[in-house]
Amino acid sequence: MSERLELFLEDHVDDHAGHDYAAAIEALLAAGILSMERAESWKAEHARLSASRHHFQGPYDEELEARAVELLEALFAPVRPLASDEWDPAVFQRYQEALSALRVIGALSLERARPWLELQHATLTPPGGRPEPEPEPEMPFAAGELSAVLAGPAGRLDGMRVTSLELYGDCVIVRFHQLLPPEPADPVERRELVSSPFELEDEAGTPYRPALVPEPRGCRRREPKGWPEALVGWQAFVPGVPLDARTLTVGWRERRWLTSIG
């Protein structure tokens, strides 16, 4: 316990975790694992550090800043650009951490540090500049205008229940709730159970197609982690349902669910 106690006392003395340090010290005293003398010593340290925290934005001492800059000049002199053959990560790291420490302890203002930060940035910039970020992937639908929400049929087939259909101007979202059987040993059967796509059709013959979202958090059906008892998810189709359609049929494997549009 003694190592844990020492770690706790030192780790929390600067309030980094936002706990009540005085109450913690009192509790350790009450349990009899901390002496009164050491409790007083740590409380004094805590009080002193708390006072220092309030001066984080300066004031800055000119003479001290000049001295800090002198050190940065010396440490930056051997730094070479990342793109060059002479790049040495240790040399760069020593300079970068020194600059960071000078800022953190309040020996260097942001104004005096700025040119050094710019130099640091330039050192890490590849020749020809940084590449433009990839454009946002184009979405196959907007799902902005919600015209109706249809409750799915109450029946469950092969563990699958269609819970609702959301009809948007440019897509249909089929929501489902699937109760899974015990995990099959056969990986093909396993994949079929959790990854079989839905199909959608109406009596007007609209050519619905699954709309995969080019992003991991979207509606792409992914295999679950582990083997849950129930899977809840959704799948989108484009285009939206035409105004004259009266029924929608959702298909999944060999099963079909018919839903009337109000």
What is the smallest separation between the CB atom of 216 and other proteins, expressed in angstroms? 10
Determine how β-strand 198-202 pairs with β-strand 209-210.
unpaired
Q: Name the residue nearer to other proteins (CB basis): 107 or 124.
A: 107
Compare residues 22 and 110 and give the one whose CB is closer to other proteins.
22
Distance in Å from the first CA to the final CA of the chain = 69
Nearest of 182, 162, 184, 191 to residue 228 by alpha carbon: 182
Of the pair 205, 217, the CB lying nearest other proteins is at: 217
81/127 Cα distance (integer angstroms): 9
Least Å distance between CB 166 and other proteins? 6
Cβ closest to other proteins, residue 85 vs residue 186: 85
Nearest distance, CB of residue 144 and other proteins, angstroms? 5
Query: CB of residue 227 vs other proteins: minimum separation in angstroms?
Result: 13
Q: What's the rounded Cα separation, in Å, for the pair 111 and 162?
A: 61
- Cβ proximity to other proteins: between 46 and 202 the closer is 46
Task: Output 128 or 130, the one with its CB closest to other proteins.
Answer: 130
Q: Which long-range contacts (CB under 8 A, 24 or more apart) does 136-140 make?
A: 137/214, 137/215, 138/214, 139/213, 139/214, 140/171, 140/211, 140/212, 140/213, 140/236, 140/238
Report CA torsion sign: 128, 129, 130, 131.
negative
Minimum distance of other proteins from residue 188's CB (angstroms): 26
Half-sphere exposure in the Cβ direction for 262 (13 Å, CA): 9
CB 205, min distance to other proteins, A: 27
